[in-house]
Amino acid sequence: MKLYGYWRSSAAYRVRIALNLKQLPAEQVSVHLVNNGGEQHSDAFHQLNPQHLVPALVDSEDGAEFSLTQSLAIIEYLDEKYPQPSVLPEQIKDKAIVRAMAQSIACEIHPLDNLRVLQYLVKEMGVDENQKMAWYHHWIHLGFSALESQLVQYSGRYCFGDNVTLADICLIPQIYNAKRFNVALDKYPNISRIWDNCHQLSAFINAAPEQQADAS
Amino acid sequence: MKLYGYWRSSAAYRVRIALNLKQLPAEQVSVHLVNNGGEQHSDAFHQLNPQHLVPALVDSEDGAEFSLTQSLAIIEYLDEKYPQPSVLPEQIKDKAIVRAMAQSIACEIHPLDNLRVLQYLVKEMGVDENQKMAWYHHWIHLGFSALESQLVQYSGRYCFGDNVTLADICLIPQIYNAKRFNVALDKYPNISRIWDNCHQLSAFINAAPEQQADAS
């Protein structure tokens, strides 16, 4: 398998964690999101993902290569193809709760605070640095406040009980991103605790942006 | 089951389609997203979803009620609990492609163009009507252009072959929303065709916003 990603992309970071948890080897191919106007817009990458977003996972079946997009779809693909250790609980209801936590990050926080959106605000709308940071902080606090109260109900050592799930896989890259933008996390004791607990695990440590070959 | 939704919410609309496809009865409870400062912010609704977003699905197990959030997690829950007819293909790879199409709408278009974000742009950032519409159109065209090229590869009568899937369930509400904001769809022949084909089915027709009791 080949994972097309970028060291600082939260979505690629999620897939790296999942690959590490399952101890699956994948060649890492760097798609630089800033240099050359963004390599994700190249013709070559367009063939892999017409959305011009990382990650894309290239895998093969009966000798034919194919490309998969969207980090959560890629992770569920890996989870179905290589079920051990699973990143979803067994019970249908529990699975829904974990997927919902993951989506509360992937659908409500990350899309608003990622690079292309911040670039649009600055370049197309002419917002200043303060407004940009207020925007970033607004959506992360809204999302983390809601998640924190769900964690009071459901968390154990990790977001859902004592096993690592898709929710942790989404949460850690989002916290990493928040720290980069100087978001104070003291209001979120469960989120902070889960950050610490996940960083006891090599799967998370080795997936961190600074550990990647394309980190600069 | 009780579905807490709102007639114009794209995410609630997705769940209504899934319930209809599976012919599952659910009491519809309206949460008015505009009146009274937004009923999704009430204490009562906070108990069901601390994210203050619709939909929330209340179901029960062994007599105990519980609430599920996030439309895609709810739909996969319904699909696992009531597998016929399934809204996902059988093969792992195909499933990943369908989930990715659904997420390309749910994670890349809808979060940027939904009500609370448009409200933030106007109220907090002071953007004018033209800038707001340019923002809306920008993200929908970006997302639909990418999806259109995936549909060239994968679509049949619907987004993925000839069976209705999660991808159609996400696409139809997003098209409905785009039409409301006067987005021209002529550049997207496959998206337009799938709109027409889905509207041959009562599951989609009956889930439309104007068909809901709280439509105004």
Using one digit for the tens of pLDDT, what is the confidence trace for A154-201?
999 999 999 999 999 999 999 999 999 999 999 999 999 999 999 999
Asked whether residue A214 is domain-assigned, the answer is no
Asked whether residue A8 is domain-assigned, the answer is yes
Cα nearest neighbour of B66 on chain A: A93
- Please count the other Cβ atoms lying within 10 Å of the Cβ belonging to residue A1: 16
Asked whether residue A33 is domain-assigned, the answer is yes
Interface contact A22, partner B, CB < 8 A: no
- The whole-angstrom separation of Cα A171 and Cα A197 is 12
Q: Mark which of A54, A84, A114 sits at the end of a domain.
A: A84
Residue B143, min C-alpha distance to chain A (Å):
7
- Band (pLDDT 50/70/90 cuts) for residue A65 is very high
Clarify whether residues A129 and A55 are in a common domain.
no
pLDDT for the residue numbered A37 = 83
Query: Does the distance separating the beta carbons of B145 and A50 come in below 8 Å?
Result: yes
Clarify whether residues A70 and A133 are in a common domain.
no
pLDDT for the residue numbered A36 = 83
> Helices B166-180 & B189-198, crossing angle to 10 degrees?
110
Interface contact B82, partner A, CB < 8 A: no
Asked whether residue B209 is domain-assigned, the answer is no
Clarify whether residues A102 and A195 are in a common domain.
yes
Asked whether residue A141 is domain-assigned, the answer is yes
Write out chain A residues lying below 8 Å of B92, CB-based.
77, 80-81
Clarify whether residues A155 and A197 are in a common domain.
yes
Clarify whether residues A77 and A133 are in a common domain.
no
Interface contact B104, partner A, CB < 8 A: yes
Q: Count Cβ–Cβ pairs < 8 Å, chain A vs chain B.
A: 124
Q: Report DSSP state, residue B155.
A: B
- Band (pLDDT 50/70/90 cuts) for residue A21 is very high
Interface contact B143, partner A, CB < 8 A: yes
Clarify whether residues A176 and A99 are in a common domain.
yes
Q: Mark which of B59, B84, B109 sits at the end of a domain.
A: B84
Domain that holds residue A99: 92-203
Cα nearest neighbour of B52 on chain A: A146
Residue B7, min C-alpha distance to chain A (Å):
20
Share of chain A above pLDDT 90, in %: 93
Clarify whether residues A44 and A79 are in a common domain.
yes
Clarify whether residues A178 and A97 are in a common domain.
yes
Give counts: helices (H), strands (E), chain B. 10, 4
Clarify whether residues A117 and A186 are in a common domain.
yes
What ipTM does this complex have?
0.97
Asked whether residue A211 is domain-assigned, the answer is no
- Band (pLDDT 50/70/90 cuts) for residue A33 is confident
Whether A35 shows a pLDDT value over 90: the answer reads no
Clarify whether residues A196 and A123 are in a common domain.
yes
Strand (E) or helix (H) holding B59: strand B56-61
Cα nearest neighbour of B68 on chain A: A97
Tally of domains within chain B: 2
Asked whether residue B74 is domain-assigned, the answer is yes
Write out chain A residues lying below 8 Å of B61, CB-based.
93
Write out chain B residues lying below 8 Å of A112, CB-based.
111-112, 117
Sheet of strand B2-5: strand arrangement: B27-30, B2-5, B56-61, B64-69
pLDDT tens column, A113-144: 999 999 999 999 999 999 999 999 999 999 99
User: For residue B149, what is the domain's CATH number?
Assistant: 1.20.1050.10
Q: What is the pLDDT along chain B (216 residues), one digit of tens a residue?
A: 999 999 999 999 999 999 999 999 999 999 998 888 889 999 889 999 999 999 999 999 999 999 999 999 999 999 999 999 999 999 999 999 999 999 999 999 999 999 999 999 999 999 999 999 999 999 999 999 999 999 999 999 999 999 999 999 999 999 999 999 999 999 999 999 999 999 999 999 999 999 999 998
Asked whether residue A213 is domain-assigned, the answer is no
Clarify whether residues A49 and A138 are in a common domain.
no
User: For residue B6, what is the domain's CATH number?
Assistant: 3.40.30.10
Clarify whether residues B53 and B148 are in a common domain.
no
Q: What angle do CA B75, B76, B82 make, to 5 degrees?
A: 85
Cβ atoms A77, A1 nearer than 8 A: no
